[in-house]
Structure 1
Amino acid sequence: MTKTSDVVIVGGGIIGSAAAFFLASDTTFNGKITVIEKDSSYQGSSTTLSAASIRQQFSTPENINISLFGIEFLRNLSEYLALNTEQQPANALDIGLQERGYLLLASDKGQETLHYNNQIQNELGADISLLTPALLKELFPWMNCDDLALGSLGLSGEGWFDAYSLLQLFRAKNKKLGIIYKDGEVTGFEKSGNKKFGSKIVAAELKTPESASVEKISGDYFINAAGPMASCIAAMAGIDIPVESRKRCVFVFNCREEIANSPLVVDTNGVYFRPEGEHFICGTSPLDGHDPECFDYDVDYNLFDEHIWPTLANRVTAFESIKQINAWAGHYAYNLLDQNVILGTHPDVDNLYFANGFSGHGLQQAPAIGRALSELIVYGKYQSLDLSIFGMERIINKTPVKELNVI
């Protein structure tokens, strides 16, 4: 059986849902949108298992501008995602946004990078301040600053929020706009044309919980928003992209002493921590040579014991006696080339749009990327932010976009 849609989005997490929202909100677009999601519970979703934060502290102007729009979107959810019905509670749009900042720490080796980045960030309107060790100690007396040369603190526009709540707001708004969310797993594409002269996808093939047979959904445009499974979806269209699923663990701990006014702190070796209610969460990228492609959700407790906890104890004396009380694992869609998003179409298949390889930045970049995908489909070019730097050409030519602040 074949059903028809104008736009078919593979992946109903935050990227796919944001793209659907901006498409449906464009007054010049009146097509049918179908979002295919294989796990409507989102228990294993990168969106809901992330550390759920947003920052402007990047080195690439496009990444900074993406997050500047992201924070504007989060601050003004009532303008975007309100249902405008009596059934919606007054607090329904509260995602617990806390703009308490990122604090990136640097030793002598890293302070030049912070100075370089800060100039770009402030020129673009990001509210970032550089702090000497003396100022850091004054603001955060609980912090050991003896080995630090500089800190970079977001004074506004950076912080964290409830990712699951944001995703549910997108879904509720999208359904009100007439967008269809369909439970199912894409297993292949039906194509027309040939590689030499370019081809098109005419339908997505999928397995659904309610049917034993393969179902097809035809469409004019298709979006790959499949997160860590992006390469599998791309391969179904005959395209290779350098995106792998990489596991990232988040640990929850409590501290008996009060740590007041803590931002999200990123230590000189990449270990981060931030408040989460009455507790803290923390994590880091795995050590070199210990980060293979991975699809399981097993927590690497050795990473906490052997690498994270010693860093925490060095930075905050009170963290010497913390108790780790919970943990979970999620996955990055990791772009092996440059850890930046792959955005747009491939010359071999001109109606399949990619939004993959965020490498941990997808949640905060979703509003701007969703808007960008909508513009590419409706207008054939970017209207708001020129994000062509992240196009497929760099992947084909293996010319990476260098981003200095990958966390």
Structure 2
Amino acid sequence: MSTPKFSTKFPTTPRLGHYDVVIVGGATSGSSIAWHLQTNAGFHGSILVVERDPSLQFSATKASNNCMRQQFATKINVEIAQYAAAFVKRYGSNFGYDPCVPDDPIRNFGYLYLSDSQSFTEVLQKDQQLQAGCGAGTEIISAEDVKRKYPFFFTGDLDAGSLNTKDEGAFNAIGMVEWMRKSAQESGVDYINNEVVEMVTDGPRIQSVKLRSGESISVNTVVNAAGTRAAQVSRLAGIELPIEARRRYTYIFSVDDPLPQDLPLTIDPTGVHLRSYGSKDYLVGCPPIGPDVAVDVDDFSFAENAWDEKVLPIITRRIPQFNTARVTDSWMGHYEFNTFDHNAIVGAHDTVKNFHFCVGFSGHGSQQAPACGRAVAELIVYGAFKTLDLGALSYSRIPENRPLTERAVI
């Protein structure tokens, strides 16, 4: 896996003893909040981002598969994805070159959901109507059309497909984070290499946070953007979150006879998904072979031989031309999985009013962080959402048991 050029030379101690906003976590979500807040004309305060590992070596950000799609089952997620596409197209030239995303800023080979049953096709048709109502370019195509557009697929078991090639594919997610982080720092945001280990509360507010190095910082607002560690961070304020780390495998592979065209991000009915990576190699990802259960946030081991036992049989059946596939790189990363409804948690706690969340993305953080970071920044500045109402993703839905379930989780 290529190594991002993240600076690891953050100071360990804060410059100030008080900050208007302290953001816990400096990866995709935390840096999006910092960037949107600092560039908001209505904000004139101080910002501290506390990141325990500036290299992001073991973050969900580092393991990102750099994907962009609008094919979701909930309206708010379609709208969030549309802002991500607009954001990347607007600023993508600043993210730096990524050889795996040569058609900067979005490599629009699209997403293709494959259905092997009439019942799942009906689900995809319902989702397509929702997406089309939001202006997405999703189309339901027959198995015959799948074969016509992508003749290398085995389609004998297919009923239909759901395809969108407008603002769907891959983008330089790692470059986006680095750019937001660098831009935020250059405009006055303080980043430190440290860890929040304690929160001091007084009634309905967090008064201060204590760092592992011993410093105590008084705060006006705290934001939890800690990714897979979000539940641990929230417990410092006596709050439980339904977020856990779940294992996901990614392999890069090459073949003797590459396909004559880009391979869209294809979601096989088995749940294995694969796409073009560079110009002549491919990426494939999958959940574990057995039950998809929580793992320790520090466990990045390959617990099973998913390539031989799961991936290879599936990709060679779907694309027989891949029968010479050989792995050239691989990694295991974590989803920050929201077990409540698979959706992000965005905004303030219902009783600890100055504690905000931007967590629980369940594998969609790279593309959802721009809109969610903007939303949290608006809440801090204005006390309300100004551009896109993300109230449906508020924390209050959890204690009130109002899940907004996102079915389209890979």
Query: How does the TM-score come out when normalised to structure 2?
Result: 0.91
Specify every segment of 5 or more residues in structure 1 that has no aligned partner in the other structure, as ranges: 83-87, 194-198, 209-213
Q: Deviation at 1:58?
A: 0.2
- The answer as to whether partners of 1:42 and 1:48 remain within 8 angstroms in 2 is yes
Q: Distance in 2 between matches of 1:358 and 1:57?
A: 15
- The SS at the match of 1:165 is helix
Q: Deviation at 1:380?
A: 0.9
Q: Distance in 1 between matches of 2:296 and 2:306?
A: 16
1:126 aligns with 2:136: yes
Aligned to 2:7: none
Aligned to 2:3: none
The one-letter amino acid of 1:397's match is E
Q: Distance in 2 between matches of 1:357 and 1:399?
A: 16
2:115 is matched with which residue: 106, 119, 130? 106
The one-letter amino acid of 1:223's match is V
Q: Deviation at 1:340?
A: 0.4
Q: Distance in 2 between matches of 1:76 and 1:306?
A: 42
Q: Deviation at 1:404?
A: 2.1
Q: Distance in 2 between matches of 1:54 and 1:217?
A: 37
Q: Deviations over 1:61-98 (max 9, x none)?
A: 0000000010000001069x69xxxxx99x9x996531
Q: Deviation at 1:288?
A: 4.9
- The SS at the match of 1:350 is coil
1:41 aligns with 2:46: no
Aligned to 1:156: 166
Aligned to 2:368: 365
Q: Deviation at 1:175?
A: 1.2
1:391 is matched with which residue: 385, 391, 394? 394
- State the aligned residue count: 389
Q: Distance in 2 between matches of 1:59 and 1:178?
A: 39
Aligned to 2:28: 14
The one-letter amino acid of 1:48's match is K
Q: Deviations over 1:123-146 (max 9, x none)?
A: 101111211111111111111111
Q: Deviation at 1:100?
A: 1.2
Query: How does the TM-score come out when normalised to structure 1?
Result: 0.91
1:64 aligns with 2:66: no
- The answer as to whether partners of 2:340 and 2:403 remain within 8 angstroms in 1 is yes
Q: Distance in 2 between matches of 1:239 and 1:175?
A: 30
Alignment CA distance shift 1:66-1:290 (3 Å):
closer
Q: Deviation at 1:107?
A: 1.2
Q: Deviations over 1:35-62 (max 9, x none)?
A: 1101111111211211111100001000
The one-letter amino acid of 1:60's match is T
- The answer as to whether partners of 1:253 and 1:326 remain within 8 angstroms in 2 is yes
Q: Deviation at 1:293?
A: 2.5
1:32 aligns with 2:42: no
Q: Distance in 1 between matches of 2:334 and 2:401?
A: 24
Q: Deviations over 1:124-169 (max 9, x none)?
A: 0111121111111111111111111111111211111222211111
Q: Distance in 2 between matches of 1:287 and 1:157?
A: 31
Specify every segment of 5 or more residues in structure 2 that has no aligned partner in the other structure, as ranges: 1-13
Matches within 5 A, 1:7-406: 7-77=21-91, 97-108=106-117, 109-193=119-203, 199-208=204-213, 214-259=214-259, 260-277=261-278, 278-295=280-297, 296-406=299-409
- The answer as to whether partners of 1:343 and 1:390 remain within 8 angstroms in 2 is yes
- The answer as to whether partners of 1:37 and 1:184 remain within 8 angstroms in 2 is yes
